[in-house]
Chains A and B, each alone.
Chain A
């Protein structure tokens, strides 16, 4: 079900979960299961979850994302969440959802840079 809402792209040994629209709780759980399975299957070293389009992240979403990070670390991949918008970040800290211990980056580009996967210079010109 979540395939359309949050397709998982593979780029070398990185998996990119690109959230396309608001996720229901079931979608989040589906995404979690699928990511963990894919990390194992592709022997991925990093997972990037791009939430640029989300204008709200509630406590269930925050917990699920943290769970993904903890689970993938156990099987050898770090997880980075990218694209949290200013309003979303502000609302999250007010609710105490600070994603402690998780890696964050401004957007996909910075997230890729963080794991040493720089898009080619030619593409960026």
Chain B
């Protein structure tokens, strides 16, 4: 499965959603105006801020690792400057949002940790605050107001970026769940009338249902009389899981197939007894080998070892 490599385009955020986010942050037209008013100031300080920013990044192991290539570093620096300038250009429309989402996705893809993302924004805000403080010595209220607007905007941006992180994780999880489901329920015909159902991993209600349905279909199509259900790969059993197993066994019995459960681990046996789960009516044996031997006995097979069997290589010409 290559679920990880399937690139799903980022769904564009609808205008309504953008409006709601801005409303929640109380980001209004006067904020836009204030940010635009410091555009000239930003231009003046951009290079110095960016310089500080990368000096900070490069002084930490975690973040330095992302900028080992000087060409990459130069590129992201110019991108960073463009972003810095864009913060005060007064255009916070759908284009702006799409750009932020895209940048967030890139950071997520290269594996930049969320903590670094937050740390970088914090550094940005602080270095701007320092400059505002110096610039508006005579008018501290104005400095506070501008900083207030800037903080709203950066939180807006952080929200967008973190959402891309979460969405990407969700997609990965979803893809993995699908892959697990596809892999989850093989029913194997071991001999005529003998089915093997190896269960691996956790059993939830959905999976138990699929598993039982597939087992019953296989019982019919293979005319199975005995089913060996191996639970060696089931990490834990609670009352629900045990009920699912009992249901599968009883449904198979209604279709005339006897079931043998094998591979219950000692700890699981203890848990089951402590929980009061009663499997007395179900045949259980220790391991898969004994289970198959028991099934063969029920079906009237007898496995006989031939003379000379067990050799590594069969003799030539056979």
Q: List residues of A whose CB falls within 8 A of some B CB.
A: 81-82, 84-90, 92-94, 98-100, 104-107, 110-111
Contact A104 B220 (CB under 8 A): no
A48–chain B nearest beta-carbon distance, Å: 12
**Chain A residues within an 8 Å CB radius of B247:** 90, 93-94
**Chain A residues within an 8 Å CB radius of B216:** 86-87, 89-90
A51–chain B nearest beta-carbon distance, Å: 10
B77–chain A nearest beta-carbon distance, Å: 63
Contact A106 B219 (CB under 8 A): yes
**Chain A residues within an 8 Å CB radius of B231:** none
- Give 8 new A-B contacts, CB below 8 A, not counting A84-B254, A90-B216, A104-B255: A86-B217, A86-B251, A89-B252, A89-B254, A92-B254, A93-B247, A99-B254, A105-B256
A88 to B209, CA, bound (A): 13
B112–chain A nearest beta-carbon distance, Å: 49
B280–chain A nearest beta-carbon distance, Å: 12
Contact B256 A104 (CB under 8 A): yes
A122–chain B nearest beta-carbon distance, Å: 20
Knowing A82-B256, A105-B256, A106-B256 touch, does A90 contact B251 (C-beta < 8 A)? Answer: yes
| Chain B residues bordering chain A, tally (CB within 8 A) | 20
**Chain A residues within an 8 Å CB radius of B209:** 90
Contact B251 A106 (CB under 8 A): no
Q: What are 11 A-B contacts with C-beta separation under 8 Å?
A: A82-B256, A89-B252, A90-B213, A92-B251, A93-B247, A93-B251, A106-B220, A106-B223, A106-B224, A110-B223, A111-B256
**Chain A residues within an 8 Å CB radius of B225:** 106, 110
Contact B255 A84 (CB under 8 A): yes
Contact A104 B253 (CB under 8 A): yes
* B196 part of interface (Cβ distance < 8 Å): no
B251–chain A nearest beta-carbon distance, Å: 4
Contact B254 A98 (CB under 8 A): yes
Residue from A82, A86, A105 within 8 A of B213 (CB atoms): A86
Q: Which B residue sits closest to A94, measured CB to CB?
A: B247
Interface string of B229-257 (1 = CB under 8 A from A): 00000000000000000010011111111
A107 to B254, CA, bound (A): 11
B23–chain A nearest beta-carbon distance, Å: 48
**Chain B residues within an 8 Å CB radius of A106:** 219-220, 223-225, 255-257
Interface string of B241-283 (1 = CB under 8 A from A): 0000001001111111100000000000000000000000100
Interface string of B102-133 (1 = CB under 8 A from A): 00000000000000000000000000000000
B107–chain A nearest beta-carbon distance, Å: 48
Interface string of B190-225 (1 = CB under 8 A from A): 000000000000000000010011001101100111
A98–chain B nearest beta-carbon distance, Å: 5
**Chain A residues within an 8 Å CB radius of B223:** 106, 110
Contact B219 A104 (CB under 8 A): no
A110 to B251, CA, bound (A): 17
A111 to B225, CA, bound (A): 12
B273–chain A nearest beta-carbon distance, Å: 22
**Chain B residues within an 8 Å CB radius of A104:** 253-256
A107 to B256, CA, bound (A): 8
Contact A93 B256 (CB under 8 A): no
**Chain A residues within an 8 Å CB radius of B219:** 86, 106
**Chain B residues within an 8 Å CB radius of A86:** 213, 216-217, 219-220, 251, 255
**Chain A residues within an 8 Å CB radius of B224:** 106
A99 to B247, CA, bound (A): 12
B249–chain A nearest beta-carbon distance, Å: 9
**Chain A residues within an 8 Å CB radius of B213:** 86, 90
Q: Which A residue sits closest to B216, measured CB to CB?
A: A86
Contact A90 B212 (CB under 8 A): yes
**Chain B residues within an 8 Å CB radius of A88:** 254
A110 to B250, CA, bound (A): 18
A13 to B217, CA, bound (A): 32
B88–chain A nearest beta-carbon distance, Å: 64
A92 to B253, CA, bound (A): 11
